[in-house]
Structure 1
Amino acid sequence: MEKLLAEPYDRPIRFDTKVAVLLGEDLAGWQRLNVTGFLISGITASFPQLIGEPYQDADGVGYLAMLGQPVLVFEGSAQLIKQAHERALRRDLAMSIFTSDLFATGNDLDNRAAVAKISTGDLDLVGIAVHGPRNAVDRVVKGARMHP
């Protein structure tokens, strides 16, 4: 396998868009990781242009490509997540959601059924991920804290 040479960056890269995850502040550690993984998979599946090039180490071993831009992870109260959800909907931003009901399901079919039976305003959101223009995403997560 031909080795890829990393190009050094001599300037900061500024992205036109932003990816942000907002998690409930009361989630257990394992839940935060699980929810983040699921939420980011939704953004990645919907925006393949965000995926960078595959990785390769110095020995030529190849690894999967990942998102090519940073993912900012925030935390906040249930009320803040609800407000962020409403803001994202008003701005028509791409969003993935994770509700508390999804902790009790074990597959995609049951996950979608659990969400489908609840009206938008009654969703018990424990996390959302949003992708869109930087300023719009900043407004959606306004009031949230960076995840520790």
Structure 2
Amino acid sequence: MSQEPPGVGCRPGPTASGSSPPDEPIMWLSCEVRGDVARVTVAGEIDLSNAHLVAELLESIVVVRAPLVAVDLSAVTFFGAYGISALLRAQRQLTERGGRLTLCQLSPVVRRVLDVTGTLTAFEVVERTPVGAAGRGLARPVIPIGTGS
């Protein structure tokens, strides 16, 4: 993610962890669909202010009907309950349509939160992104509009 495209959102606000200055994006999303595999990469913080964007992106992939959605969470630095809800909802929708959601390369923060909440076992976790999903699409930074969780 060498280029920094313009942020999504207009009014920056404080983050839940306080790790980013208010005018900096707190999350980047990218998506690439190759054949039967959709790869979604999330970087930064997933909290109350932006988890709905992760959910909306995953829901739009469900509509495309990619049988496998691989979510790379290796660069996530904050992960709240709303992030868990977004992933569980996407997994349910994919399963209902005969698809599959995998979580790839969990950051220590994501792994810890999923483990502590007992939801880690609800997901298929793999250490490598599926072969058909190599490469990165254009990332879109997300600037928070309100406060985080």
TM-score exceeds 0.5? no
Tell which structure's C-alpha radius of gyration is larger. Answer: 1
Name the TM-score, length of structure 1 as normaliser: 0.24
Name the TM-score, length of structure 2 as normaliser: 0.24
